[in-house]
Structure 1
Amino acid sequence: MGAGTPACTGAGTDILSEAIGSVRIGRAEACRKAESGSWGMRFAAFAGSGVHIVLRGSAWLVTATGRPRALKAGDVVVAPFGAETGLSHAPRLLSHLPPACPSGNTRSPDPTDVEFLHAAYLLDRGQVHPYLRSLPEVLTISPGHDRSSQLRSLTDLLAADVTDVQPGSGATRPALLDLLLTHALRQWLKQDGDVDRPDIGDPAIAVALREIHTSLDKPWTVQQLSEAVGMSRTAFTKRFTVVVGKPPITYLTGWRLSYGARLLRETTAPLATIARQVGYSTEFAFGAAFRREYGIAPGRFRDLQSRQVPAAQVRGV
């Protein structure tokens, strides 16, 4: 296994894990808001994944399609691929809601009717993982008092992190958002198990994903991957494409570049080292592939990320 490549084993190597990992190169942003009386707000569509969480009170979720949905304290709304959403004190048309205020936290010392937490990974480069795009535009999760204690605990931790910003929030916020998205999607899959979704636990494909993710520096071919799972090349390609949403080599290339982008963002390793870690023989080959995927050279991408100042708002969650 190349140094720095993700070590995925067993059940951890599934489409849900890798889908969430794919948005991790985005900016993790969050804010907390409180409202009273007659109110409403519309969150524009964006590239990434995000959540609304009702901390206190009740509200209505409004989307471009479907009927408004009533939300109560504790409910979590996930926008897997950043669809436009709205929140309001009463059922309304999405087009009738004003744009969400671009400011950060809007908490009041006086009692308010409702309080929300909004958080998202905003992708400036790249695309949302196909698995996330295969899900409905919004997912609603209602954790019961006797279940999803982890989800409630993560909500409390993220709310506290947003309310009282301390040194190190650049590390804690993405970690909490990762866990929150994972637990929310797990809970949704449990409560909506009859929904026609790809089987993210497919054993053969799980093995192939594990091979890719634990040996990302290996010059994989479709033939080698199909042999690793004991299938013919044709059958493997068809099955992988159905489960993952992309052909094997397309997925492999996308993951290499996505992980390379994370290394550029999170480490100071030389470009040549990163190129080898993600399976490219030279930094020039890596750079050419990176520019095709992200429209920017790796060095320029790293420079922009290092100088990036987090926006003061959460857009489109």
Structure 2
Amino acid sequence: MDILSDAVAGLTTAPALSVLTRARAPWGLRFGGRQGFGLHVVVAGECLLLPSGGDPRTLRAGDVLLMPSGVPHILADARDTEPRDLVVDGRIGSITIGGAGAPAVVVSGAYRLEQVSRHPLLAELPAVVHLSGRSHHDRLHAAVDLLGAEIQTRAPGAEAIVSALVDALLIYVLRSWYEGKPTGWAVAIGDEAIGQSLHRMHSQPGEAWTVDRLAGELGLARATFTRRFTRLVGEPPLTYLTRWRMITAARLLRRGRAPLATIARQVGYTSEFAFAKAFKRQYGLAPGAYRRANRDRSTDADAHHSSPPELA
């Protein structure tokens, strides 16, 4: 069980949107204001990030930005350039904007993520994750190069390839951000004992896990395990387990048609009533109502005719 991939997959509620922008000064694009993550990669040239209420940042070729909070922001050649809203028809696209000045090429992506049950993995992230072109892996850049080529050529199969690459970029960015951090989620995953307990919860959410059982299987005292888990993960073991069970249940509700009783058993509840009560406490809706309101568009028969997530 890859916990990082599992956590991201559990929170993704719609296929990603991606666009390749070829710009020449003067140019400006307005993004954000929606739930989800926005991603920008400067492939060539330079531009400014102008976040709402924040200080401008200069972005250079190779820089990667992740906007976990969906905060409104502008990418532009200069502060005083009047931006326009980005409009893309479909899940992948390319645009050419601006005048005859300095060129820039930017690949952008958007992910619609579950916001109700914030996973600790995502809750730790700052409003803007900025990876310098000098600070991250060659594989991330390889994925960006492939993504730009697929968006540009729109060859047969491009939509499937682009969707996979945009998903991969999110994992690469998260991996790069957490790598080397002395505390937080990456340390929890890498910790031999806590990583194993997270693996058990993720791979078998329907098991009747207790703190005593988890601690005992790791050879730790209950109090020691609880303190260590809470310090690294940010919440006690059973609180995290309930959160993950509800995230898993929400994913099953969005993506399938299994009866509620079946889903309840899959996430550790022998009683459909107890499951519904726990789910409503977390999401504010009964499981059936959540399913109707949040059917995953990627499995809907009309998916190709529905609106994609807007770039955040």
Alignment TM-score, normalising by the size of structure 1: 0.78
Shift of 1:32: 2.8
In the alignment, what sits opposite 1:244? 233
Q: Deviations over 1:125-157 (max 9, x none)?
A: 524322322222222224459x73321232234
Aligned-partner Cα distance in 2 for 1:298–1:27: 22
Q: Does the 8 Å CA contact 2:117/2:247 hold for their aligned counterparts? A: no
Aligned-partner Cα distance in 2 for 1:80–1:124: 12
SS at match of 1:281: coil
SS at match of 2:105: strand
> Which residue, 190, 202, 206 being the options, matches 1:213?
202
In the alignment, what sits opposite 2:104? 114
Aligned-partner Cα distance in 2 for 1:296–1:245: 26
Q: Deviations over 1:240-260 (max 9, x none)?
A: 122112221121111111112
2:304 pairs with 1:315: no
Aligned-partner Cα distance in 2 for 1:195–1:68: 28
Aligned length: 297
Aligned-partner Cα distance in 1 for 2:155–2:211: 47
> Which residue, 57, 74, 79 being the options, matches 2:67?
79
Structure 1 residues 48 and 241: alpha-carbon distance in aligned structure 2, compared to 1, 3 A threshold: farther
Percent identical among aligned pairs is: 37
Instruction: State how 1:3-22 maps to structure 2 within 5 Å.
Output: 8=1, 12-13=2-3, 16-22=4-10
SS at match of 2:85: coil
Shift of 1:212: 0.9
Aligned-partner Cα distance in 2 for 1:102–1:284: 44
In the alignment, what sits opposite 1:60? 48
Counterpart of 1:52, as a letter, is: H
Aligned-partner Cα distance in 2 for 1:46–1:222: 38
Aligned-partner Cα distance in 2 for 1:38–1:195: 42
Aligned-partner Cα distance in 2 for 1:70–1:213: 39
Counterpart of 1:136, as a letter, is: P
Instruction: State how 1:4-153 maps to structure 2 within 5 Å.
Output: 8=1, 12-13=2-3, 16-64=4-52, 67-91=55-79, 98=83, 100-104=85-89, 105=93, 107-108=95-96, 113-123=103-113, 126-143=116-133, 148-153=137-142
In the alignment, what sits opposite 1:179? 168
Q: Does the 8 Å CA contact 2:74/2:83 hold for their aligned counterparts? A: no
Alignment TM-score, normalising by the size of structure 2: 0.79
Q: Does the 8 Å CA contact 2:50/2:57 hold for their aligned counterparts? A: yes
Counterpart of 1:101, as a letter, is: L
Q: Does the 8 Å CA contact 2:46/2:61 hold for their aligned counterparts? A: yes
Shift of 1:288: 2.7
Structure 1 residues 157 and 209: alpha-carbon distance in aligned structure 2, compared to 1, 3 A threshold: same
Structure 1 residues 168 and 35: alpha-carbon distance in aligned structure 2, compared to 1, 3 A threshold: closer
Aligned-partner Cα distance in 2 for 1:165–1:253: 44
> Which residue, 184, 192, 203 being the options, matches 1:203?
192
Unaligned runs of 5+ in 1: 1-7
In the alignment, what sits opposite 1:155? 144
SS at match of 2:70: coil
Structure 1 residues 207 and 261: alpha-carbon distance in aligned structure 2, compared to 1, 3 A threshold: same
Q: Does the 8 Å CA contact 1:27/1:310 hold for their aligned counterparts? A: no
Counterpart of 2:242, as a letter, is: T
Aligned-partner Cα distance in 1 for 2:163–2:253: 16
Aligned-partner Cα distance in 2 for 1:273–1:250: 22
Root-mean-square deviation (CA), in Å? 3.3
Aligned-partner Cα distance in 1 for 2:261–2:150: 36
Unaligned runs of 5+ in 2: none
